[in-house]
Amino acid sequence: MNANILKKLVFSIMLLCSLTTWAQDKAVLSGKITLSDNTPAENIMIALKGTIHSAVTNAQGSYEIKNIKPGTYTVRISAIGIATVEESITLTSGESQSKDFMLSESPEQLKEVVIDAAKNKYKTDKPSTSLRLNTPVLEIPQNIQIVSNQTLQDQQIISMSDGLIRNVSGATRLEHWGDMYANITMRGSQIQAFRNGFNVVSSFWGPLTEDMSFVDHIEFVKGPAGFMLANGDPSGLYNVVTKKPTGQTKGEVSFTLGSFDLYRTSLDLDGKLSEDGKLLYRLNLSAQNKGSFRPYEHNDRYVIAPVVSYQIDDQTKVTAEYNYQHANMTEVGSYYVFGTGGYASAPRNTTMTQPGLPDTKIDDHSVYVMLEHKLDDNWKLTGQLSYFNYQQTGYSSWPTSVGPYAADTDGDGVTEDLLAPGEVIRNVGIWDAKSTMKLGQVFVNGKFQTGAVSHKILAGLDMGNKNYMADWGQSHNLDTFENPFNVLAPNYGYPANGMPVFDRTTSLEERALIAGGLMDSKYSAGYIQDEIGFFENKLRLTLAGRYTYVSQSSWGGAPISDKHITPRVGISYSVNESTSVYGLYDQAFTPQSGIIRNGDNVKPLTGNNTEFGIKKDWFNGDWSTSLSAYRILKKNELTGDPLNLPNENYSIVFGEKRAQGIEFDVRGKITDGLNVIANYAFTESIVNEVANGVTGIKKGDVVPGYSKHVANAWINYTIQSGVLKGLGASGGFTFLGDRATDTWSVGLQKLPDYFKLDGGLSYEKGKVKLTANMFNILNKYLYSGSYYAYLSAYYWQAEAPRNVRFSVTYKF
């Protein structure tokens, strides 16, 4: 940002301040609603009678109503099944009044009310505290989409890789790693994975997909948010928010059966460990056996996720959480199929795995400790620490050669190695890995007034130490050229070249050093943001900046350090109480891991994002729409070298990438019983500049790994009265058009357009809910894939044919 721009910005702020000095201050009403035993009352409506001002209490029972004109009002508190409370209150100019209420109902009386209030709740108005934005989604100058817990349940989503992205405009998966890694692409790039506000990416391949049993909801932040959430890609991030204690004593158990030997059960317990309600707990358990439409393939898991919180006093709260996931699955690569005859040239259920290979086993541990301290009514300090430990023992499969193939290996002029079409030499490599991350954050949220101008302050520090090590330096051909594997006529008997025997006698650290599988990253950063409100907070100007220092090493190389300052400027204007327009300019700074063929140092990725949008709530906030247009420029981005040979992992810096597009989202309750999620995104991502020395890529080339057109919809209707009350029906589709492959080598055949249709039925009565969904109703042969020039072959990963899931859920 140059001096002239800075001068104009300062002048604009001063002008806006002078224009608002005459404005009459409006009042704010906030407080807490509790039950008869002092536990928080969640999802309770509080409104000023006869006005449009209202709010709904959060999990802590807190509410806030802003922009109220001075005067005397009747406060009305209501919910299904409780006695309505009305009380008169007088608010003066500029006053921030705190008013608490206690309901006569007990938690048991209110339990059904809370359940009813949560039905079909696809729209969330506020981001989680882990995003640190103490502002409603409507007023944030950025496109943020939140996938609610009710959405996860209705669509029977059981992991991050299980159809979740249909609920967010423009989101696709960059290579389907089965149920191991999510690898989500948005706005032309792979976005960063966060959990509870922590960046949990330690390598390209992580993290392990979260099981939905301990997930409350997922927040998708479009565009960069690295200024407050540690290092991140300018294309965006997703933040998995885990379940926390609510203060209500309740429980839920669910059983799911599905096609291809899916058996799953989960348990969610929520309650108090002390009579005064200060010590709370949440415990989530899950176990599943999951087969596949491909033979010899499975993915079994179990999860243990306890959380404890303690309210030390009215100002201070401590929360401790532990998540453990154990996965036992077929080796990575079992779902890849290769052939020279084009995509999907083998039956849908084809697998190239070898029966009898040991399973890949993963143990994923994470620990969080969070301290929240309320300094006063306007300021809050939050500190949190986390530790992640990921351990993997397993295998990865990939072909050495794909027929037709002929080679003179000894140079005597005679072809010794010969493969016919459909024949493949399968290769299995070791993939033992370990990752540790130690992350820390401390930040403060506050608000104050300077005359008629309001300020919301966010300031904090981030620190992180990430280590990843892997041994992928050992491999073994299962087949021989005399006796290859035939994709078109597979024989799963004992392989001609025997089973692999890998050396694990030495430590993983030593093996990773030899294989070049060491990656480390250390960073520290400070940031500050001021959201400045003018004209009674109708106009909001966001100014922020972040200083980041990063030291990183990759592929066993020497550490490289760098530092950077990234600014952020956003503006949001409320046209009325249900409509806002916004603009955003942001920059990003992200460390990268890779090794360049000529030995050049790897630099961090830098980028900037310009975005404009409009958001609107409809019918008193029941449903919302958002429309945004963006343009992202990224420099120094690494990508796989198109000239890589088998077992080479070189990267190149291809200069500058430009991504731009339009996104539209609709979500919420259209009318009683009818809930909708729908979205569309147009994305274009191309090479804008090519760095010196780069071959195989030219200016204007399409960047791999996204779809130009993405459209999704999900509609749910539940009958609200009569004999069939509680009976619901759902339906949805996903469309991907003009798909780019996952590699720079496009081959002679493009990926076809993708269309998937799903639907289901549900019935809920009292404490029991039955849910059944059918996926891929049209039974289409759906797949993703790419062309590999060095193999002269196509690969694809097929999705399941028509399949069903049936769940029984009991709430107690």
- Looking at residue 174, its pLDDT comes to 72
The tens digit of pLDDT for each residue in 94-138 reads 888 889 988 876 554 454 444 344 444 788 888 888 888 888 899
Same domain as 653, residue 599: yes
Above 90 in pLDDT, residue 650? no
| Structure-block tokens of residue 443 | 């930040």
**At which of 83, 118, 153 does a domain end?**
118
| Structure-block tokens of residue 194 | 């966060």
Rg value, the chain, Cα: 28
Nearest alpha carbon to residue 606 among 592, 625, 594 = 592
Same domain as 490, residue 406: yes
> How do strand 299-311 and strand 337-339 relate by DSSP bridges?
unpaired
The tens digit of pLDDT for each residue in 142-169 reads 999 999 999 999 999 999 888 899 999 9
Residue 62 parent element (H or E): strand 62-68
Nearest alpha carbon to residue 665 among 653, 677, 675 = 677
Same domain as 643, residue 546: yes
Q: Kindly report the number of other CB atoms within 10 A of residue 29's CB atom.
A: 22
* Distance (Å, whole) CA 185 – CA 707: 9
Q: Could you tell me if residue 451 is left (phi over 0), alpha (psi between -120 and 50 degrees) or otherwise beta?
A: left
Q: CA dihedral in degrees (797, 435, 363, 259; nearest 10)?
A: -20
The tens digit of pLDDT for each residue in 254-310 reads 999 999 999 999 999 999 999 888 999 999 999 999 999 999 999 999 999 999 999
CATH number reported for the structural domain that contains residue 704 in this entry = 2.40.170.20
Tell me the β-bridge partners of 395.
430
CATH number reported for the structural domain that contains residue 188 in this entry = 2.170.130.10
Q: How many CA atoms lie within 13 A of 141 on its CB side?
A: 27
| Inside any domain, residue 174 | yes
| Inside any domain, residue 689 | yes
| Structure-block tokens of residue 84 | 């309505």
- Looking at residue 19, its pLDDT comes to 40
SS3 state of residue 19: helix
- Looking at residue 117, its pLDDT comes to 41
At position 589, the amino acid (one-letter code) is: F
Nearest alpha carbon to residue 463 among 532, 527, 538 = 527
| Inside any domain, residue 271 | yes
User: For the chain, what is the mean pLDDT?
Assistant: 87
For the chain, the domain total comes to 3
pTM recorded for the entire structure: 0.85
At position 98, the amino acid (one-letter code) is: S
pLDDT band at 2 (very low <50, low <70, confident <90, very high): low
Same domain as 617, residue 536: yes
| Inside any domain, residue 123 | no
Q: What's the gap between Cα 585 and its chain centre?
A: 22
pLDDT band at 41 (very low <50, low <70, confident <90, very high): confident
The vertex-335 CA angle with 329 and 340, nearest 5°, equals: 155
**At which of 226, 242, 258 does a domain end?**
242
Above 80 in pLDDT, residue 15? no
SS3 state of residue 204: coil
* Distance (Å, whole) CA 289 – CA 328: 9
- Looking at residue 723, its pLDDT comes to 93
Residue ranges making up the domain that contains 463: 250-811
Residue 142 parent element (H or E): none
Which range (233-237, 274-278, 730-734, 778-782) has the least confidence?
233-237
* Distance (Å, whole) CA 395 – CA 798: 21
Q: What is the DSSP string of 536-589?
A: TTTEEEEEEEEEEEEEEE-TT---EEEEEEEEEEEEEEEEETTEEEEEEEEEEE
Above 60 in pLDDT, residue 17? no
Same domain as 112, residue 135: no
Phi, psi for residue 479 in degrees, rounded to 5: -115, 165
* Distance (Å, whole) CA 672 – CA 307: 34
* Distance (Å, whole) CA 232 – CA 197: 12
Could you give the strand order of the β-sheet that contains 337-339, starting from the edge strand earlier in sequence? 337-339, 793-798, 783-788
**Three-state secondary structure of 593-611:** CCCECCCCCCCCEEEEEEE
Q: Enumerate residues 6+ apart whose C-beta is below 8 A from 255.
A: 264, 265, 807, 808
Same domain as 718, residue 572: yes
> How do strand 279-289 and strand 262-272 relate by DSSP bridges?
antiparallel
CB 335 within 8 Å of CB 176: yes
Same domain as 150, residue 93: no
| Inside any domain, residue 615 | yes
Comparing 82 with 265, the larger pLDDT belongs to: 265
Nearest alpha carbon to residue 216 among 319, 168, 117, 147 = 147
| Inside any domain, residue 776 | yes
**At which of 118, 149, 168 does a domain end?**
118
Above 60 in pLDDT, residue 178? yes
* Distance (Å, whole) CA 176 – CA 196: 24
At position 224, the amino acid (one-letter code) is: P
Same domain as 660, residue 729: yes
| Structure-block tokens of residue 1 | 């940002």
Question: Among positive and negative, which fits the CA dihedral 691, 695, 697, 698?
Answer: positive
CB 528 within 8 Å of CB 535: no
* Distance (Å, whole) CA 685 – CA 676: 29
| Inside any domain, residue 691 | yes
Same domain as 278, residue 207: no
Burial of 588 (0-12, 13-18, 19+ CB in 10 A): buried
Which range (240-244, 638-642, 654-658, 785-789) has the least confidence?
638-642
* Distance (Å, whole) CA 86 – CA 76: 5
First to last CA, the chain: 57
SS3 state of residue 12: helix
Q: Enumerate residues 6+ apart whose C-beta is below 8 A from 100.
A: 31, 32, 33, 34
423 vs 67, 122, 457, 490, 587, CA distance in Å? 71, 49, 63, 9, 49
Same domain as 315, residue 288: yes
443 vs 318, 371, 385, 438, 673, CA distance in Å? 15, 11, 12, 17, 40
Q: Could you tell me if residue 352 is left (phi over 0), alpha (psi between -120 and 50 degrees) or otherwise beta?
A: alpha
pLDDT band at 253 (very low <50, low <70, confident <90, very high): very high
- Looking at residue 229, its pLDDT comes to 66
- Looking at residue 230, its pLDDT comes to 58
Same domain as 615, residue 581: yes
| Inside any domain, residue 58 | yes
Provide mean pLDDT across the span 553-571: 83
- Looking at residue 81, its pLDDT comes to 56
Burial 654-684 (b: 16+ CB within 10 A, else e): bbbbbbbbbbbbbbbbeeebbbbbbbbbbbb
Nearest alpha carbon to residue 612 among 582, 568, 569, 571 = 582
CATH number reported for the structural domain that contains residue 61 in this entry = 2.60.40.1120
Which range (584-588, 629-633, 688-692) has the least confidence?
688-692
Same domain as 71, residue 192: no
